């Protein structure tokens, strides 16, 4: 299996909805969904996300934007 990525420069302002879009793309990737280890890791990530209680406004905004990704599992 070959996977590739395109790095981006975080100093450029990006649409904040890119984050959930990118995460949802990972969740839906057939190679990831069919791999038991990667799928388990994504489930663990959702558990960590659920337990995460951000203290800063930036953290709360990030959690709010990522919330729809949880529905993918």
pLDDT at 51: 94
d(CA 27, CA 32): 7
How confident is the model over 22-42, as pLDDT tens digits?
Answer: 777 877 888 888 889 988 888
At 10 the pLDDT is 65
pLDDT at 14 over 70: no
pLDDT at 53: 94
Domain ranges of the chain: 15-27+48-73
Q: What is the 3-state secondary structure (H, E, C) of the chain?
A: CCCCCCCCCCCCCCCCCHHHHHHHHHHHCHHHHCCHHHHHHHHHHHHHHHHCCCCCHHHHHHHHHHHHHHHHC
């Amino acid at each position: 299996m070959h996977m590739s990525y395109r790095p981006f420069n975080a100093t450029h302002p990006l649409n904040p909805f890119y984050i959930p879009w990118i995460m949802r793309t990972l969740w839906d990737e057939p190679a990831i969904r069919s791999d038991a280890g990667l799928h388990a890791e994504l489930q663990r990530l959702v558990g960590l996300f659920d337990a995460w209680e951000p203290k800063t406004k930036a953290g709360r905004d990030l959690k709010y934007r990522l919330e729809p990704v949880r529905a993918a599992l």
